[in-house]
């Protein structure tokens, strides 16, 4: 199984905060973006790869390929950050025997079908139910936009 340093939900995926802050706190060699739609979009995939810091490889895979990749033996000194847009992707990983004990929730932007929990988190009913199921399965979920902020336990946000 691959070495996973950080699992993060952030619908912006790779952006300034990920590049400048998270990769310094969690020194990773690879960023694995798991997104079925993005995996099939060559132009956007190239843009995300170009946004990564020098020395960090960006892999963009669909869910099935990601599960197979994560289950492979780790390479020497390989540390992976997983980025997804929604909690359902992480739940599917855990259902496929990928052990995840902690999730850092970044931004989930407002949409018509979502209700707002705080400035940066909005979820629809399906996403909220998914987060609650993962919490009930003893997966720690914290809201933390940047590493310098104090993490907030999601149990204190979703009631």
Beta pairing, strands 152-153 & 140-143: antiparallel
pLDDT computed for residue 31 by the predictor: 96
Residue closest to 15 by CA, chosen among 47, 50, 51, 46: 51
Q: What is the pLDDT along the chain (159 residues), one digit of tens a residue?
A: 999 999 999 999 998 877 778 999 998 999 999 999 999 999 999 999 998 888 999 999 999 999 999 999 999 999 999 999 999 999 999 999 999 999 999 988 888 899 888 888 899 999 999 999 999 999 999 999 999 999 999 988 876
Question: What domain count does the chain have?
Answer: 1
Q: Which two tokens stand for residue 103?
A: 């999730």
For 35, the domain range is 4-156
Residue closest to 87 by CA, chosen among 45, 132, 43, 52: 132
pLDDT computed for residue 65 by the predictor: 98
Residue closest to 99 by CA, chosen among 89, 90, 108: 90
Q: Which two tokens stand for residue 33?
A: 């973006």
Asked whether 33 and 90 are in contact (CB, 8 A), the reply is no
Asked whether 13 and 83 are in contact (CB, 8 A), the reply is yes
Asked whether 58 and 86 are in contact (CB, 8 A), the reply is no
Indicate which CATH number applies to the domain containing 141: 3.40.35.10
What is the pTM assigned to this prediction?
0.95
Beta pairing, strands 140-143 & 102-105: parallel
């Amino acid at each position: 199984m691959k070495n996973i340093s950080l699992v993060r939900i952030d619908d912006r995926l790779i952006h300034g905060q990920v590049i400048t802050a998270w990769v310094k706190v969690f020194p990773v060699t690879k960023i694995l973006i798991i997104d079925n739609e993005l995996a099939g979009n060559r132009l956007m995939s190239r843009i995300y790869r170009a946004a990564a810091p020098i020395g960090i490889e960006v892999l963009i895979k669909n869910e099935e390929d990601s599960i197979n990749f994560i289950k492979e033996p780790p390479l020497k000194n390989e540390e992976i950050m997983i980025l997804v847009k929604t909690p359902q992707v992480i739940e599917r990983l855990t259902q496929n025997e990928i052990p995840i004990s902690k999730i850092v929730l970044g931004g989930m932007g407002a949409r018509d079908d979502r209700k707002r929990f705080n400035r940066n988190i909005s979820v629809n009913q399906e996403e909220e139910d998914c987060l609650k199921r993962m919490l009930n399965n003893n997966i720690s979920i914290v809201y933390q936009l940047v590493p310098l902020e104090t993490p907030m336990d999601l149990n204190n946000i979703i009631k």
